[in-house]
Amino acid sequence: MTHDVMFASKTCPMCNVQSSSEASRCSACGYLFGLINLSRNPEPREAQPLSVMCVQHPEVAAKVRCKICLSGVCETCEFVVGGVSICPACIDRESTAEISPKRRNAMIVSYILGIGGLLLLIAAKLGIVQRTFGFEPIVPQITGVIILFMAMGGSVLGFTAHDKKLKNSGATLGALIVNLALFGIYVLLAVFATVRK
């Protein structure tokens, strides 16, 4: 029995030029392909021969073929994105390209809050804040509240940028660590201050 090998291709939504399924950009206009290419006229799905097995589980019959690489995919392995079936390998390959702009912005603001909070904490412990704003008893309290809000806000944004379901860069993990460290230091200093009283 012979099997015809078919190669998947992507159609650029900007210029309608066909590119290989492995291409990350259109060869004609440079359009950056996303996770999948959802064209307006999707190709009709071919009937699956019974002899196609799942690429991940060779003992299990495939339910569908991956839209990107045409490998057989069983029901357990199938990812459906925009009504299109994709295998786990293509999801991993495509999702490592880069993080979304929303996650990148959350990471940047998280770093700003974390580093800013650490610098403010250091300035408060060295007495720079009190020398600048006066020795009133309210100054350390306001400084502490600002540091706490910076640590909490940065941690929330760090968790937003670092998503367990998606691929993460080391930078997203770094933003989370910086803010959690700031929060931990803040809590330790608050406990020591309370115990000393």
Q: Tell me the pLDDT band of 103, cut-offs 50, 70 and 90.
A: confident
Q: Is 0.85 surpassed by the pTM of this model?
A: no
8 A C-beta contact, residue 91 and residue 79 = yes
**pLDDT tens, position by position, 1-59:** 333 334 456 777 666 677 777 777 766 666 666 655 444 444 444 544 446 888 888 89
Tokens matching residue 20: 């290989």
**Residue in the block written with tokens 């999707």:** 42
**pLDDT tens, position by position, 114-133:** 999 999 999 999 999 999 99
8 A C-beta contact, residue 29 and residue 42 = no
Q: How many residues does the chain have?
A: 197
Per-residue pLDDT at 131: 92
φ, ψ dihedrals at 8, nearest 5°: -75, 155
What are the extents of the domains in the chain? 1-96, 101-196
What secondary structure letter does DSSP report for 51? T
Segment 60-71 shows an average pLDDT of 84
Position with higher pLDDT, 184 vs 197: 184
